[in-house]
């Protein structure tokens, strides 16, 4: 099995949950703007804003811009991506931000609520960043960090408020202890900074897990805004340890955090663009692209240049590429495999950037659009795979025959031929001892002639079985003998560099041998040329004569067998032989560089 | 004369060794691998190494490679390659740039003891011994403008024996004519083929073979 992906996602055409109703969106949008306006006005009456934070106008604008940006961007995200909880999370963060500004009011209850939630916004921002883009905290570590953040922000705030020091509106004051209050606020600042930095660490780690460049520039933008979290941590630590220009840092931080929802929105807008790319895909498919272009079309639509499209062959129980070659879809970090089904049967699989998982509707739309084209391409791949299998078995048959013949040739050489030579030598030594007996000498001479003829015949048999010279000494050396023995003058050009694979050399040798024999028998040529050239990815063997032409495959007895041999090696054999125009035999046999 | 023999068939190794021994050649070493042959040649510096072209372990070109290596590293050692097949391409590869002290014969030739011993002596003396099949194959090779047709039948005989590496004396004995007439034939052949005459026996072997091969 090629696929070992743990849980391939099986796609069904699923429209996803319906979006929120428009009136609900409008209500929330108006509510967001309303509470922001309320908070804006209250800022000018707040002692905290005017004395501690300074410049009430700037603070009021920046803080409430945060509320409005998070609520509105959240509503847009919610309506566009109802299946993701991220939009709702943004809306919630916006309203929670507002609640924390209730500490600017002078009503005792609302002041107490607002002050209790005073440290909530930084943790909310952290939560939002870690939950992008699904709206969920995926790992236990993320949940722990965010949970600890909420707990620390609220519990330490409650401690501070219990020991007093917040003025007359604080309903939670139990006693008044400035030392404990100071201790609590410092702890709070340090703990929250630490958690924010831990959150940034998690973000960086998540990004580094994807080894390849990010698929979406929108996500990259979001990552940069993650620096806002670092700024908050820096701000808090500056307060604790007395860093410089706290006021300006606070403004810059608020501005940065307030712009982050725009980045989130751009990230989501990219996904919208992607879905419109499916329309482009439909147009391309309508033009009936070649199966080879299908992967590229899908890669464009899904904006994943590394996309792999593999077709499922049920008979082989494996995935193959368009050429019928086996494809390994085993898990790679940052890659996910999605199975494409049609009418309940597996057709193909896409291996793609794991980030695409966040857009299941895009995947579903693209694969649904490509359905018939994928099925066609699968049939194409299946045909290629079967052809490949056939070629492989033909090559194996020829290979087996070849090695058997090689074995026989070797046996002849090491056995009968050596023995006959030794026997002949023995007879001549015997002959020397017999000098004086002419009859015996004559008989021995006859016997030795017989042996010589047998050796000659055996040599021919052995040569016919297997061209040992080719395997031992290479094509160039062996072809020289063929050229020397040909019936017409032969120009021999061999440009192959080093040795070629043995099966290729043997095929080329037989091809030249048979073709030159045909030239001698039929062509009535005055000249022939043999050319063997090593090219980029194959070897060209060409035999040309200037004879009468008109050759066909049935006449040259061995030509059909040679074509088999060449094709078994994945090559092509072609013969041009117009009447009166000579004959050209040309084979191109693939050969890895 | 001292000889080393590398041949993996025991029958033939013993046979050649005996034939040479009977002829007064000192066989200083026999072995059955190319590797061992190179060691023996290095240690005994014989006058001639007789090498089977097909030696273990793969029985492909080990013997040939060893022969070429001896030619390169020990120019004073003659090399006689024996094979069950003789091929023009292999002969030319073995000769490369000189025919001094080189022989390439079909194994069958061993059984003509007198000729074989003579060939061994020629090669060990720095001459050549090229198998008649190589020469006849090259002679029968078709050419576009064939100057060979201008040779008389006798001149062709002389050319053939000359290409095998025989001396004028040897040719004269073989054809039963005088050395003087062999010399006349030889200079006539060189004239007709447009080859520069003179030089040693092995130099004219190379010149003739290269001419025939072209």
Residues B137, A481: C-beta atoms closer than 8 Å = yes
A480's tokens: 């020289």
Nearest CA in chain B to A448: B111
- Residues A77 and A206 occupy one common structural domain: yes
Instruction: Kindly report, residue by residue over B136-158, the tens digit of the pLDDT.
Output: 999 998 887 778 889 999 999 99
Q: Which fold has domain B135-213?
A: Arc Repressor Mutant, subunit A (1.10.10)
Shared domain for A381 and A397, answered yes or no, is no
| C-alpha distances in Å from residue A54, one per residue of A57, A116, A118, A250 | 9, 21, 17, 11
3-class secondary-structure state, position A290:
coil
Q: Within this chain, do residues A112 and A170 fall inside the same structural domain, yes or no?
A: yes
CATH code (residue A570) = 3.30.565.10
Are B111 and A451 within 8 A, CB to CB? yes
A12 in any annotated domain: no
Compare all CA atoms of chain A with the CA of B54 and give the residue at the minimum distance.
A472
Q: Please, what's the largest Cα pairwise distance for chain A?
A: 148
Q: Looking at A352, A371, A388, which one is the last position of a domain?
A: A388
Helices then strands, counting H and E runs in chain B, come out as: 10, 6
The answer to whether B136 contacts chain A (CB < 8 Å) is no
* Domain count within chain A: 4
CB A478 within 8 Å of CB B131: no
- pLDDT by 10s per residue, chain B, length 214: 999 999 999 999 999 999 999 999 999 999 999 999 999 999 999 999 999 999 998 888 999 999 999 999 999 999 999 999 999 999 999 998 899 999 999 999 999 999 999 999 999 999 999 999 999 999 998 887 778 889 999 999 999 999 999 999 999 999 999 999 999 999 999 999 988 877 888 889 999 998 898 8
Among all residues of chain B, which has the CA nearest to that of A478?
Answer: B89
Q: Residue A277 — pLDDT band, cuts 50, 70, 90?
A: low
Q: Is residue A69 part of a domain?
A: yes
* Domain finish residue from A465, A496, A517: A465
Residue A415 falls within a domain, yes or no?
yes
φ and ψ of B98, to 5 deg: -155, 150
Question: Quick check: A210 pLDDT over 70?
Answer: no
Does any CB of chain A come closer than 8 Å to the CB of residue B15? yes
Q: Which of B61, B84, B142 sits opposite A487 (nearest CB)?
A: B142
Place of tokens 């929108």: A218
For residue B147, the model assigns a pLDDT of: 86
Domain range for A554 is: 472-590
B60, A473: Cβ pair inside 8 Å? yes
The CA-based dihedral angle spanning residues B49, B55, B57, B61, taken in that order and rounded to the nearest 10 degrees: 100
Q: For residue range A164-201, what is the model confidence (pLDDT) as tens digits?
A: 767 777 777 777 777 777 888 888 888 888 988 898 88
Inter-chain contact B110–A429, Cβ cutoff 8 Å?
no
Q: Nearest-CA residue of chain B relative to A420? A: B108
Considering the domain architecture, whether residues A213 and A301 belong to the same structural domain is answered as no
Are the Cβ atoms of A485 and B137 closer than 8 angstroms? yes
A171 and A39 within one domain: yes
With beta carbons under 8 A apart, name residues in chain B contacting A427: 111
Report the interhelical angle of A217-225 vs A246-286 (nearest 10°). Answer: 170
Closest-approach residue (CA) in chain B for A423: B111
Give A1-18 pLDDT, tens digit per residue.
Answer: 333 333 444 444 444 456
**pLDDT tens for each residue of A416-456:** 999 999 999 999 888 888 877 889 889 998 999 999 999 99
Task: List all residues 6 or more positions away from B198 whose beta carbon is below 8 Å from its beta carbon.
Answer: none
Interface test with A, best of B55, B110, B111, B210 (most A CBs within 10 A): B111
Q: Judge whether A347 and A340 are in contact, CB under 8 Å.
A: yes
Q: Do B130 and B103 form a contact (C-beta atoms < 8 A)?
A: yes
B149 touches chain A (CB under 8 A): no
With an 8 Å Cβ cutoff, the interface of chain A facing chain B consists of 410, 413-414, 417-419, 421-422, 424-429, 432, 448, 451-452, 455, 459, 462-463, 468-469, 471-473, 476-481, 483-490, 527
Contact yes or no for B64 and A481 at CB 8 A: no
In SS3 terms, A160-200 reads as: HHHCCCCCCCCCCCCCCCHHHHHHHHHHHHHHHHHHHHHHH
Please report residues of A whose CB lies closer than 8 A to that of B59: 410, 413-414, 472
**Residue A459 exposure: Cα atoms within 13 Å on the Cβ side:** 17
Total residues found in chain A within this entry = 593
Residues A212 and A356 in one domain: no
Q: What is the reported pLDDT for A4?
A: 38
CB contact (8 A) between residue A477 and residue B90? yes
Pair type for strands A318-320 and A335-342: unpaired
In a domain, A335, yes or no: yes
Nearest by CB: B111 against A419, A428, A485: A428
Whether pLDDT at A222 is above 90 = no
Judgement on whether residues A175 and A88 belong to the same structural domain of the protein: yes
CB–CB of B165/B202 below 8 Å?
Answer: yes
Instruction: Extract the tokens encoding B66.
Output: 């060893």
Please give the CATH superfamily to which domain B2-130 belongs: Response regulator (3.40.50.2300)
Asked if residue A179 belongs to a domain, the reply is yes
The whole-angstrom separation of Cα A539 and Cα A533 is 6
Please check the confidence at residue A214 and state whether its pLDDT lies above 50.
Answer: no
């Amino acid at each position: 099995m090629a696929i070992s992906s743990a849980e391939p996602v099986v796609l069904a055409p699923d429209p996803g949950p319906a979006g929120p109703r428009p009136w609900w969106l409008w209500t929330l949008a108006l509510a967001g703007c309303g509470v922001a306006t309320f908070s804006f006005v209250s800022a000018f009456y707040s002692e905290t804003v005017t004395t501690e934070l300074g410049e009430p106008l700037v603070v009021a604008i920046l803080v409430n811009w945060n509320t409005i940006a998070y609520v509105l961007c959240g509503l847009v995200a919610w309506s566009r991506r109802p299946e993701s909880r991220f939009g709702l999370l943004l809306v919630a963060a916006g309203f929670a931000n507002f609640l924390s500004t209730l500490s600017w009011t002078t009503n005792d209850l609302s002041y107490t609520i607002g002050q209790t939630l005073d440290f909530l916004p930084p943790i909310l921002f952290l939560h939002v960043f870690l939950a992008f883009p699904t709206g969920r905290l995926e790992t236990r570590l993320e949940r722990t960090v965010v949970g600890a953040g909420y707990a620390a922000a609220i519990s330490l705030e409650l401690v501070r408020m219990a020991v007093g020091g917040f003025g007359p509106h604080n309903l939670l004051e139990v006693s008044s202890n400035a030392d404990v209050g100071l201790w609590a606020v410092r702890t709070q600042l340090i703990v929250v900074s630490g958690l924010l930095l831990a959150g940034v660490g998690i973000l960086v780690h998540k990004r580094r897990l994807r080894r390849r460049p990010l698929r979406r520039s929108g996500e990259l933008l979001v990552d940069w805004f993650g620096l806002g979290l670092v700024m908050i941590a820096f701000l808090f630590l500056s307060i604790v340890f007395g860093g410089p220009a706290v006021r300006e840092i606070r403004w810059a931080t608020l501005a940065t955090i307030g712009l982050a929802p725009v980045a989130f929105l751009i990230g989501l807008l990219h996904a919208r663009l992607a879905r419109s790319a499916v329309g482009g895909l439909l147009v391309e498919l309508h033009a009936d692209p070649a199966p080879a272009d299908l992967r590229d079309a899908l890669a464009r639509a899904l904006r994943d240049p590394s996309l792999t499209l593999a077709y499922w062959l049920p008979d082989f129980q494996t995935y193959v590429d368009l050429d019928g070659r086996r494809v390994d879809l085993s898990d790679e970090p940052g890659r996910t495999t999605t199975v494409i089904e049609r009418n309940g049967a597996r057709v193909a699989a896409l291996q793609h950037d794991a980030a695409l998982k966040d857009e299941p509707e895009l995947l579903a739309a693209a694969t649904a659009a490509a359905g018939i084209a994928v099925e066609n391409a699968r049939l194409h791949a299946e045909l290629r795979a079967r052809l490949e299998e056939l070629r492989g078995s033909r090559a194996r048959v020829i290979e087996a025959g070849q090695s058997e013949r090689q074995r026989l040739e070797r046996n002849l050489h090491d056995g009968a031929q050596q023995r006959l030579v030794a026997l002949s030598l023995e007879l001549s030594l015997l002959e020397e001892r017999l000098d004086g007996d002419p009859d015996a000498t004559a008989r021995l001479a006859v016997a030795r002639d017989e042996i010589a003829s047998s050796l000659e015949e055996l040599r021919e048999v052995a040569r016919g079985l297997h061209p040992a010279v080719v395997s031992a000494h290479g094509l160039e050396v062996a072809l020289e003998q063929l050229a020397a023995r040909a019936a017409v003058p032969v120009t021999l050009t061999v440009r192959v560099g080093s040795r070629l694979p043995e099966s290729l050399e043997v095929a080329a040798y037989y091809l030249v041998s048979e073709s030159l024999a045909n030239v001698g028998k039929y062509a009535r040529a005055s000249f022939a040329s043999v050319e063997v050239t090593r090219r980029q990815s194959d070897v060209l063997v060409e035999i040309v004569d200037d004879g009468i032409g008109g050759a066909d495959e049935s006449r040259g007895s061995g030509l059909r067998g040679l074509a088999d041999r060449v094709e078994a090696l994945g090559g092509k054999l072609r013969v041009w032989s117009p009447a009166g125009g000579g004959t050209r035999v040309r084979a191109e046999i693939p050969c890895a560089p | 004369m001292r000889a080393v023999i590398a041949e993996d068939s025991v029958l033939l190794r013993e046979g050649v060794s005996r034939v040479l021994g009977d002829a007064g050649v000192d066989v200083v070493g026999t072995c059955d691998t190319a590797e061992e042959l190179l060691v023996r040649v290095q240690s005994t510096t014989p006058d001639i190494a007789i090498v089977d072209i097909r030696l273990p372990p793969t029985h492909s070109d080990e013997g040939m490679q060893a022969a070429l290596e001896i030619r390169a590293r020990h120019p004073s050692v003659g090399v006689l390659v024996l094979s069950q097949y003789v091929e023009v391409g292999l002969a030319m590869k073995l000769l490369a740039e000189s025919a001094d002290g080189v022989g390439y014969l079909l194994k069958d030739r061993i059984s003509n003891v007198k000729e074989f011993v003579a060939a061994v002596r020629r090669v060990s003396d720095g001459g050549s011994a090229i198998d008649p099949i190589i020469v006849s194959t090259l002679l029968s090779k078709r050419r576009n403008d064939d100057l060979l047709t201008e040779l008389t039948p006798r001149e062709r005989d002389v050319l053939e024996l000359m290409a095998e590496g025989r001396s004028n004396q040897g040719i004269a004995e073989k054809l039963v004519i005088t050395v003087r007439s062999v010399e006349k034939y030889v200079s006539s052949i060189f004239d007709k083929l447009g080859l520069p005459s003179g030089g040693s026996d092995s130099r004219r072997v190379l010149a003739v073979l290269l001419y025939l091969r072209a």
